[in-house]
Amino acid sequence: MRRCISGFLLCIVVSAAALGASVGCSQGGSKIAFFVYKGSDTFISEMMDYMTSGVPADVVFEVRDAGNSQSVQNQQIVELIDKGFDLFVINAVDRLACSSIVERCAKDDIPVIFFNREPLADALIGNNAFYVGADADSLGKKQAEMVAELFTNSFADSRFDRNGDGVVQLVILKGEQGHQDAEKRTDNCVSRLKELGFRVEVLAIEVADWNRRDGYEAMRRLIIQHGDRIELVFSNNDDMALGAIDYLLDEGIFSASHQAVGQPFVIVGVDGTAVGLDAIDRGLLYGTVNNDSIKQSDAVLTLIDYILHDKSLDDFPYTITRNHYIYIDGEIITRMNLANFR
């Protein structure tokens, strides 16, 4: 598809069938390439809109969608190395592949900025490999803090304790097995809730691969297995939470006429996508933690500018950890402060 944003042409490859397509968005200047693991991912799609709309008009750029295939992404990277691109911005399909990507790009002196999927600790070598992403530990902790504020520390006396046992029975919708954000969000939401004084029982963890459809099916299985024992759903992202809500609405378990605190149990997400914010407004999703795609995109664009113009990173406006990592924290979003994020 093609559309004009901010006065220059934005061209995005949106399906596996179009993977071979390339786009030239301006004439002259530097050439940069964006590689995404799967363009249909809601959060990645929003982040790409922000990043590509901020590319300077004199920079040629291409966007490649790997369709969730690392082998396809590897081919795309090699193809654009051969075309003489100056810088790669990569949302890797498999974080285990990042080390070999960095090594291959280093042979042609191509700087690499990874985003959203954090490479392993030893993958970012040399002076021209970076990662920009969320503070995944913090996002999981803030999910728990949001819930703790709602439940207070007298859960056993509140309407949220469905069976009156004083224990929070919860389930988790996990993004992707092995993905660093999924693992950290899953661990931290539970551990932080315990730190805040709650007794917790994890009934089940269902992997739903970040997407709404799988979230629907995961929630169906959880209801069959655990029924009215569920008192809380931690979802690693908004899309899976929305899939769960779709199922709950279809089955009449949730009501579109109730507010989130009036539903049978509470669901919280991560990302702060447009559709997630709408679900908060409608009273279906209690809240989310902003996975700040705007600030992350700005950090990527600023880093692109510094690299292309050979600027010293000594005055880079974002904190760089261990010489390679730029972590962006997020904020809790509920109906109380929803207007600040729309």
Three-state SS string over 276-338 comes to: HHHHHHCCCCCEEEECCHHHHHHHHHHHHHHHHCCCCHHHCCCCCECCCEEEECCCEEECCCH
Tell me which residue of 63, 61, 90 sits closest to 74, measured CA to CA: 90
At 193, list the tokens: 């809730």
Give the strand pairing for 167-174 and 232-235. Answer: parallel
185 class by beta-carbon count within 10 Å (0-12 exposed, 13-18 middle, 19+ buried): buried
- How far is Cα 31 from Cα 138, in angstroms, rounded to an integer? 35
- How far is Cα 26 from Cα 216, in angstroms, rounded to an integer? 42
Task: Tell me which residue has tokens 């654009």.
Answer: 80
- DSSP for residue 127: S
- How far is Cα 113 from Cα 129, in angstroms, rounded to an integer? 6
Q: Is the pTM of this model over 0.75?
A: yes
Helix (H/G/I), strand (E/B), else coil: 36 = strand
328 residue type, one letter? I
Fold of 136-290: Rossmann fold (3.40.50)
**Residue 23 pLDDT > 70:** no
Annotated domain spans of the chain: 2-126, 136-290
pLDDT > 70 fraction of the chain, expressed in percent and rounded: 91
226-265, pLDDT tens digit by residue? 999 999 999 999 999 999 999 999 999 999 999 999 999 9
**For 2-126, CATH number?**
3.40.50.2300
At 314, list the tokens: 């000594």
54-105, pLDDT tens digit by residue? 999 999 999 999 999 999 999 999 999 999 999 999 999 999 999 999 999 9
**Residue 30 pLDDT > 80:** yes
On whether the CB atoms of residues 276 and 284 are closer than 8 A, the answer is no
183-194, pLDDT tens digit by residue? 999 999 999 999
136-290: same fold as 2-126?
yes
Which pLDDT score is estimated for 7?
28
What residue spans of the chain are helical by DSSP H? 42-53, 70-82, 98-106, 136-151, 180-195, 212-226, 238-250, 274-281, 293-308
Which pLDDT score is estimated for 218?
98
- How far is Cα 296 from Cα 135, in angstroms, rounded to an integer? 11
73 class by beta-carbon count within 10 Å (0-12 exposed, 13-18 middle, 19+ buried): buried
Taking the CA atoms of the chain, what radius of gyration do you get in angstroms? Answer: 21
On whether the CB atoms of residues 212 and 179 are closer than 8 A, the answer is no
- DSSP for residue 221: H
Burial 296-325, CB ≥16 within 10 A → b, else e: bbbbbbbbbebbbeeeeeeeeebebeeebb
Bridge partners of 61, per DSSP, are 32
On whether the CB atoms of residues 276 and 79 are closer than 8 A, the answer is no
Q: Is the dihedral of CA 15, 21, 27, 29 positive or negative?
A: positive
166-177, pLDDT tens digit by residue? 999 999 999 988
At 226, list the tokens: 């655990």
